[in-house]
């Protein structure tokens, strides 16, 4: 069994304590390959932001669990090299299982060196959710690994996570859930959703500039949850903004994405002024990476060297992650 401390990783406990106090959110960025990982570490080291590297069950199958362990260790070494070369402080890095759906999967990740895991049993009846989550917490805490649970269901599709509609978190359940499970953080549902197709134009209103505005997040639910578990670390999933520039870049270079509207960045920033201390962003990275690759193929159709199209994709990702840290999550300078 590999322990995360041997790999140079940290769990999320101190990260979240600092974020709740400082009114910012730690970025939780999903990755599947080396270029995504390089972009995340470069952006977060250069902006001096703590970071949570997220791996879904689908990414774990794609990249191979043994390789992921060494990629986590390699991320730490890359960060140290960058920090040393640029005279920067080293940043804390956590390796996190995103949307683990069974005890067995969470256990396997902990034993392979993950420092944090999510157990998402929100699709089960409430008492079953409590039971499964508690089982994971008991095992994880023996190894000083932090655990994220979930109450409520987010609509949308992301890897193996599929739900047709959202079920908002019931504030009256949160105290009991946290007490009975012992989780270290709680993912809630207040109107965000998974994937790039979050809202259709007909679900939105148009402003004077012709820009689609989606339904506002349910800050009333967030406020009530905060009253019931003050200062407890809250997580928002499905928080990509689906930038129109990235969608246009894809579609102008042979793509066929449908019109879609994401979560406005100002709403995410507002949420971080509460106990929301972790924000998950995946689809925005996929969009910018795909757009950059398609652009190379359009402009240079004879190109076949992966470095020549994955390199620009990595650069586009780095810029996007820096923007999120500096202008949306408020995590820049908080390492």
220 is catalytic: no
Structural tokens at position 32: 């599947």
Options 98, 184, 282, 284, the catalytic residue = 98
Q: Which residues contact 183 (CB under 8 A, 6 or more apart)?
A: 133, 137, 147, 148, 149, 177
**Is the CB of residue 300 less than 8 Å from the CB of residue 306?**
no
CB burial string 53-80: b at 16+ within 10 A, e below: bbbbbbbbeebeeeebbebbbbbbebbe
Q: Which residues contact 3 (CB under 8 A, 6 or more apart)?
A: 113, 143
Closest CA to 227 of 175, 184, 168, 178: 175
Closest CA to 97 of 72, 126, 124, 79: 72
216 is a domain residue: yes
Structural tokens at position 96: 């996190």
pTM: predicted TM-score of the whole model, two decimal places? 0.92
For residue 144, give the CATH number of its domain. Answer: 3.20.20.70
What pLDDT, on the 0 to 100 scale, is given for residue 194?
55
What pLDDT, on the 0 to 100 scale, is given for residue 199?
61
Helices 126-142, 103-111: crossing angle, 10 deg rounding: 20
**Is the CB of residue 182 less than 8 Å from the CB of residue 141?**
yes
Distance, in Å, from the CA atom of 302 to the CA atom of 147, rounded to the nearest integer, reads: 47
Closest CA to 6 of 80, 168, 114, 139: 114
316 is a domain residue: yes
334 is a domain residue: no
Q: Which residues contact 188 (CB under 8 A, 6 or more apart)?
A: 150, 151, 152, 169, 174, 221, 222, 225, 234, 235, 236
Tens of pLDDT, residue by residue, the chain (335 residues): 779 999 999 999 999 999 999 999 999 999 999 999 999 999 999 999 999 999 988 888 888 777 877 888 999 999 999 999 999 999 999 999 999 999 999 999 999 999 999 999 988 999 999 999 999 999 999 999 999 999 986 654 455 544 445 688 999 999 999 999 999 999 999 987 655 555 666 666 777 766 667 777 899 999 999 999 999 999 999 888 888 899 999 999 999 988 777 888 999 999 999 999 999 999 999 999 999 999 999 999 999 999 999 999 999 999 999 999 999 999 999 99
What pLDDT, on the 0 to 100 scale, is given for residue 200?
66
Torsion over CA: 159, 268, 263, 170 (sign): positive
**Is the CB of residue 276 less than 8 Å from the CB of residue 227?**
no
Distance, in Å, from the CA atom of 269 to the CA atom of 171, rounded to the nearest integer, reads: 22
Torsion of CA 168, 55, 94, 321, to 10 degrees: -80
174 is a domain residue: yes
- Host domain of residue 81: 4-329
Number of neighbours of residue 29 by Cβ within 10 angstroms = 26
* Domains identified in the chain, total number: 1
335 is a domain residue: no
């Amino acid at each position: 069994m590999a322990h995360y401390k041997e790999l140079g990783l940290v769990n999320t406990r101190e990260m979240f304590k600092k974020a709740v106090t400082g009114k910012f959110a730690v970025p939780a960025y999903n990755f599947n390959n080396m270029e995504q990982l390089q972009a995340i570490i470069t952006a977060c080291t250069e902006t001096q932001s703590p970071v949570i590297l997220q791996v879904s069950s689908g990414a774990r199958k794609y990249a191979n669990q043994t390789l992921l362990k060494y990629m986590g260790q390699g991320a730490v070494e890359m960060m140290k090299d960058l920090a040393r070369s640029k005279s920067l402080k080293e940043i804390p890095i956590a390796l996190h299982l995103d949307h683990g759906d069974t005890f067995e999967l969470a256990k396997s990740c902990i034993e392979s060196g993950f420092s944090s895991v999510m157990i998402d049993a929100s699709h089960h009846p409430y008492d079953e959710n409590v039971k499964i989550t508690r089982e994971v917490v008991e095992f994880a805490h023996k190894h000083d690994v932090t655990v994220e649970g979930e109450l409520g269901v987010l609509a949308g599709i992301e890897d193996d996570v599929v739900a047709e509609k959202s079920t908002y978190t019931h504030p009256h359940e949160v105290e009991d859930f946290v007490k009975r499970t012992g989780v270290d953080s709680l993912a809630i549902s207040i109107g965000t959703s998974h994937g790039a197709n979050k809202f259709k134009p007909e679900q939105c209103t148009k402003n004077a500039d012709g820009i689609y505005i989606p339904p506002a997040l349910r800050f009333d639910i967030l406020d009530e949850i905060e009253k019931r578990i003050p200062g407890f670390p809250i997580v928002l999933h499905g928080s990509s903004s689906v930038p129109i520039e990235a969608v246009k870049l894809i579609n102008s270079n042979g793509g066929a994405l449908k019109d879609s509207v994401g979560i406005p960045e100002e709403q995410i920033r507002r949420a971080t002024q509460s106990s929301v201390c972790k924000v998950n962003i995946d689809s925005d990275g996929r969009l910018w990476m795909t757009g950059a690759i398609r652009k190379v193929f359009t402009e240079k159709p004879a190109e076949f060297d992966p470095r020549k199209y994955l390199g620009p994709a990595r650069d586009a990702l780095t810029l996007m992650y820096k923007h999120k840290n500096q202008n949306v999550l408020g995590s820049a300078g908080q390492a």
